[in-house]
Amino acid sequence: MIKFVTSNEHKYRELNSIFSAHDIEIEWVKMKYEEIQADTTEEISLDSCRKLQSVIEGAFFMEDTGLYISPLKGFPGPYSSYVNSTIGNKGILSLLGVDRRAHFQTVISLSYGRKVYQFSSTLRGTISTEERGENGFGFDPVFIPEGEGFTLAEMDPERKNTISHRRKAAEKLIDFIKTRNELNNE
């Protein structure tokens, strides 16, 4: 059993399904935590994780995801949450021309034995020309992964979970957990 701190139920559901396939139970600590402003997701996540160490007992992890759009020089990146709740997907679509390359980056920070370990992964793709699909959340209706014809929101949840940024970062964390018996058996 390992704690996962997030206010976002979609993230919890996606990760819970990935972890249960490895027989690892995660406990959802539903809470919104403070995030500083910094240039990289790694720095932001590290800072939040350290602050939570004085609040949460035992091993826990959290996860930060950003959408980086190439022709916008990586924007919204660390400001993804703010951009999603302000201009949203329609606003993003209105900012783009011919070059629509983008990627998601997920950084997982694990607090274990007072240390912080980070695991990250990316998913490359393009921004669609219109919102498509009802599944998923956040930027899923406008993100088409490389090599796919559909947005993440048009895929069934299992398909997103097979190819996603979150999935690949979670697998790195799972590999780590499997090498630590104490985490495995807690």
> Considering only residues 16, 70, 81, 118, which one is a binding residue for ligand ITT as defined by CB under 6 A?
81
Read off the tokens for 109. Answer: 């920070």
> Considering only residues 1, 7, 50, 90, which one is a binding residue for ligand ITT as defined by CB under 6 A?
7
Q: Which is nearer to ligand ITT, 6 or 126 (CB)?
A: 6
Which stretch, 2-10, 18-26, 50-58, 175-183, contacts ligand ITT (CB under 6 A)?
2-10
Minimum gap (Å) between residue 185 Cβ and ligand ITT: 26
Strands 101-112 and 60-69: antiparallel
Closest CA to 2 of 10, 11, 21, 23: 23
Amino acid identity of residue 120, one-letter, is S
Q: Which is nearer to ligand ITT, 74 or 180 (CB)?
A: 74
Is 47 a residue of the active site?
A: no
Residue 62 pairs in a beta bridge with 5, 109
Task: Count the residues of the shown chain that bind ligand ITT, applying the rule CB under 6 A.
Answer: 18
**By CB under 6 A, residue 103 contacts ligand ITT:** no
CB neighbour list of residue 97: distance below 8 Å, 6 or more residues apart: 71
User: Residue 163 to residues 65, 137, 146, 159, 168: CA-CA distances in angstroms?
Assistant: 15, 16, 10, 7, 7
**By CB under 6 A, residue 11 contacts ligand ITT:** yes
Minimum gap (Å) between residue 84 Cβ and ligand ITT: 3
Interaction with ligand ITT in 118-177: which residues (CB under 6 A)?
Answer: 136-140, 152, 164, 166
Choice among 64, 99, 140, 175 that is catalytic: 64
**By CB under 6 A, residue 45 contacts ligand ITT:** no
Minimum gap (Å) between residue 48 Cβ and ligand ITT: 8
Q: Return residues touching ligand ITT (CB under 6 A).
A: 6-8, 11, 32, 64-65, 80-81, 84, 136-140, 152, 164, 166
Q: Active-site residues: which are they?
A: 64
